[in-house]
Amino acid sequence: MAFDFIEQQLQQRKIDGLYRQSQITQGQQGRYIKVAADHYLNFSSNDYLGLAADPTLIKAWQKGAELYGVGSGGSYLVTGYNQAHADLTEQLKSWLGLEAIALFSSGYSANQAIIKLLLDKNALLLQDKLNHASLMEAGSLAQCKMQRFKHNDSAHLQSLLEKQQNPNSLIISEGVFSMDGDQAPVKELLIQSKQHNSWLMIDDAHGLGVLGKDGQGSVVESGIANSELQIYMATFGKALGVGGAFVAGSQALIDYINNFSKPYTYTTGLPPAMAYTIGCAAQMAEIEQWRRDKMFELVSYFKTLAVQHDIQLGESNTAIQPLIIGDSQKALMVAEQLKALGFWVTAIRPPTVPVNTARLRITLTTSHELQDIKQLIAAISTILSEH
């Protein structure tokens, strides 16, 4: 029978404890999440600054819809590039210190577009081993040669660069790694790229709005201007609480995207009302320092309590706090036990993370309170002691 591998592979996923399916949630993102009429303390959201359901942004989206309607009507190069999009890019350039910007519908699309656009069979792609799936998949499908350097290991990267003979080479790393929460050695990566005449791209999906002066991201946190990179990518659906993404670089790079990137050229533009809302979210992220202060206070409290309860966490100082379980079935079991106690914590399993590193990916947001953290740690401690 044609395509009989579908049922076979799904069944194998279930046997291996790796089967996944969506959970229907009701209502808004926030401190609590509602699933099947039950409420849980939500420790799985990427809404780090608590903006996704902020009343100010809800009003902004409503105003944006009144001003611009609810759809863009076409791709950016036809009828879809509204004044709201132009205003947003100018605001982002000012806030983040960038020369030029192209807007995308998602970070996944942006990452795939860049790799497909720039890297032909004569190019070399060098990726951190733990980069996001959007980057790894694009690299594996591209015509270029791809090599992976050990996680956050600039010495290994250097050894690969010294052997490269390709005229065009691109180094890519996440700024904050989505499954581990640790940060890339951006300064070291930049030095390596300059020494070997390579370009450097940072995917800052989990750093924008959270790290750096005024939330300017992980690159600025490293003491480097975003404009020093050849390519800076970030998303609007994490700390900014909305959706979509952008790629930034030189004016020539953005012009090249406009003219030669099919994922950009042939995709309907972000709704202008959405762009308007993103602009409001960016302004809030920039000026409302209290959101970052509270989030990092919670991170510090969480890590302190974890030590006190002998809970071993990953090497992260960001809102993403991984608790490595190892076995996928055990990770699922712990997550289910937490849900039974009223905590929504997601078990992350291969292929999203390496084999034998299944984990609870715990995320902390400005919406949480100290008592939430205390209750979660107590629950985790009890469950782990039983195993």
The first and second tokens of residue 250, run together, are 């030189």
The first and second tokens of residue 295, run together, are 């989030």
Catalytic residue, candidates 45, 178, 222, 328: 178
Catalytic residue, candidates 116, 238, 294, 303: 238
Looking at this protein, which amino acid is placed at residue 31? Answer: R
**Nearest CA among 240, 320, 232 for reference residue 286:** 240
Q: Let me know: does 264 contact 111? Beta carbons within 8 Å.
A: no
Strands (E), 224-341: 231-235, 245-249, 320-326
Task: Give the integer Cα–Cα distance in Å for 186 and 302.
Answer: 26
Place of tokens 């490269």: 164
The conformation of residue 213, written as its DSSP 8-state character, comes to G
Catalytic residue, candidates 47, 54, 203, 204: 203
Task: Give the integer Cα–Cα distance in Å for 224 and 222.
Answer: 6
To the query of whether residue 203 is one of the catalytic residues in this protein, the response is: yes
Catalytic residue, candidates 47, 128, 174, 372: 174
To the query of whether residue 238 is one of the catalytic residues in this protein, the response is: yes
To the query of whether residue 178 is one of the catalytic residues in this protein, the response is: yes
Catalytic residue, candidates 85, 116, 206, 303: 206
Catalytic residue, candidates 42, 44, 45, 46: 46
Q: Let me know: does 122 contact 108? Beta carbons within 8 Å.
A: no
To the query of whether residue 46 is one of the catalytic residues in this protein, the response is: yes
Angle CA 315–281–107, to nearest 5 = 60
For 155, the enclosing helix (H) or strand (E) is helix 154-163
Place of tokens 């370009």: 199
Catalytic residue, candidates 132, 294, 303, 368: 132
Which residues does the annotation mark as catalytic? 46, 132, 174, 178, 203, 206, 238
